[in-house]
Each structure stands twice: as C-alpha cells, then as structure tokens.
Amino acid sequence: MTRKLPNIVVTGTPGVGKTTHAEQIAQNLGFKHVSINQIVKDEGFHEGKDEELGSWIVDEDKLLDYLEATSLSETGGYVLDFHACELFPERWIDLVLVLRCDSTVLYDRLTARGYEGKKLEENMDSEIMQVLLDEARESYKEEIVVELKSENADDVEANVDRVEQWVEQWKKDREA
Ligand code: DAT
C-alpha cells in the first residue's frame, strides 16, 4: 500500500452526527469529505427509494466504480460518510468510526428532522440494537473499528482531536 494518507469511514444510524464529524475532520486535516448519500443521489447510483426507510436503494457496483476512479485508493485522505459501511472494500479503509448516540437524544434529532412513523421507529431500533457497530465489526479488522459517543459538542471536539492524533501516528508509523 502506497497511500500517503489514511482513508476514514464515518458511519452510524442517521442523526448520530456523521456529517458533523466528517466535515470537521475534513476541515482540520485537509481531507476530502465524501457524502456517499449525496453522490448516490446526484449521480443516480440507485434503484429508487425505500419508501419506508426513506433511504436510497444503492447500486453498489456503480458507486464503487465511481469511487475507484477517484484518487481514494492511491492517495488516501478521504472521509467517507455513510449510514452503512460493509460495501467499502477493506483494502481502501484504514479507520472506521462508528458514532453512537443515546436513544432519547437521537429521538429528538430525528423528530426535528421530520422523521416519523416507521422511518423513525426503524432508525431508533437500529441504533438501540447497534446494527452499524455490528456491521463494522463484521466487515473490518477489530483494531480499526472505533466506537465513539456523539451526544454533545464536547464529544465532537474530543472525537475529532482523537482522530487527528490517530492520523499523526498513522503517518509516523509509515515514515518509520
Ligand atoms: P448524520 O450525518 O449522522 O445524519 P448530522 O451530523 O447531520 O448526522 O447530525 C444530525 C443533527 O444532530 C444535526 O442537527 C447536528 C446534530 N448533532 C449531531 N451530532 C451532534 C453532537 N455530538 N452534539 C450536538 N449536536 C449534534
């Protein structure tokens, strides 16, 4: 592997703070924030919407071809922000952050976003049952999966600091 910078996945249930974290990490480290949802929507890499969950039914082949054509796997320095993680090939990814949130806090965030009914219920269940954490642990090596609390602004600051330190160490390890 010749990447000069690591690639980071920020994952978790909708509303846990992926965008908030990914933007901050990208800004502080000069990394590229890639909102996978945005790409899927803008490039039409989907087969319509799952009406119940309100999320795109992603055409993974098209999405991965698109990502493959970027400098992601060669240069690194990407922050991939998505509510799933198993689709990204292991060889691309150096760190997986799984954001977690207390269910009352998440409930307030999702209702503020207009989630209701089945969509609200399914996403709440997903967080309570730690679906994304399990998916990350099943898809990547244990040592690159990190669970982080994202309930308040202090958490964001502490998490971003931790990632910055981790990236510094990653670089040092490769220089050695
Ligand atoms: P996601 O991208 O996972 O859907 P988001 O970053 O858009 O989540 O955050 C959803 C809302 O919650 C948004 O209004 C910002 C707020 N939020 C997220 N994480 C937070 C945190 N750790 N502290 C305070 N507010 C947070």
Q: Is 153 in the pocket of ligand 1 (CB under 6 A)?
A: yes
Q: Is 126 in the pocket of ligand 1 (CB under 6 A)?
A: no
- Section 136-154 average pLDDT: 98
Query: From the CA of 111, how far away is ligand 1's center (Å)?
Result: 12
pLDDT at position 90 over 70: yes
User: Which of the listed residues 9, 20, 108, 159 should we mutate to test ligand 1's pocket, taking the one with most ligand atoms within 8 A of CB?
Assistant: 20
Structural domain boundaries of the chain? 8-171
Tokens of 24: 């901050």
The confidence score (pLDDT) of residue 101 equals 97
Q: Rounded mean pLDDT of the chain?
A: 96
pTM: 0.96
Query: From the CA of 8, how far away is ligand 1's center (Å)?
Result: 18
- Section 84-97 average pLDDT: 97
For β-strands 78-81 and 8-11, DSSP reports them as: parallel
Please state, in angstroms and as integers, the Cα–Cα distance from residue 42 to each residue in 64, 73, 83, 103, following that order: 15, 22, 17, 31
What is the distance, to the nearest Å, from the Cα of residue 152 to the centroid of all Cα atoms in its chain? Answer: 18
Tokens of 22: 């990914």
Considering only CA atoms, which residue is closest to atom 6 of ligand 1?
Answer: 17
**Residue 4 binned pLDDT confidence (cut-offs 50, 70, 90):** very high
pLDDT at position 52 over 80: no
Q: Is 23 in the pocket of ligand 1 (CB under 6 A)?
A: no
HEC-encoded secondary structure of the chain: CCCCCCCEEEECCCCCCHHHHHHHHHHHHCCEEEEHHHHHHHHCCEEEEECCCCEEEECHHHHHHHHHCCCHHHHCCEEEECCCCCCCCHHHCCEEEEEECCHHHHHHHHHHCCCCHHHHHHHHHHHHCCHHHHHHHHHCCHHHEEEEECCCHHHHHHHHHHHHHHHHHHHHHHHC
- Section 6-31 average pLDDT: 98
**Residue 176 binned pLDDT confidence (cut-offs 50, 70, 90):** confident
- Section 76-93 average pLDDT: 97
pLDDT at position 27 over 80: yes
Q: Is 155 in the pocket of ligand 1 (CB under 6 A)?
A: yes
The confidence score (pLDDT) of residue 1 equals 63
**Residue 134 binned pLDDT confidence (cut-offs 50, 70, 90):** very high
Q: Is 35 in the pocket of ligand 1 (CB under 6 A)?
A: no
Tokens of 144: 């690159």
Please state which CATH number belongs to domain 8-171: 3.40.50.300
Considering only CA atoms, which residue is closest to atom 20 of ligand 1?
Answer: 17
The confidence score (pLDDT) of residue 109 equals 98
Q: Are 153 and 20 in contact (CB under 8 A)?
A: no
The confidence score (pLDDT) of residue 140 equals 98
For the ranges 49-63, 75-89, 152-166, the lowest mean pLDDT is seen at 49-63
The confidence score (pLDDT) of residue 53 equals 75
Q: Among residues 62, 86, 91, 90, which one has the least CA distance to residue 74?
A: 91
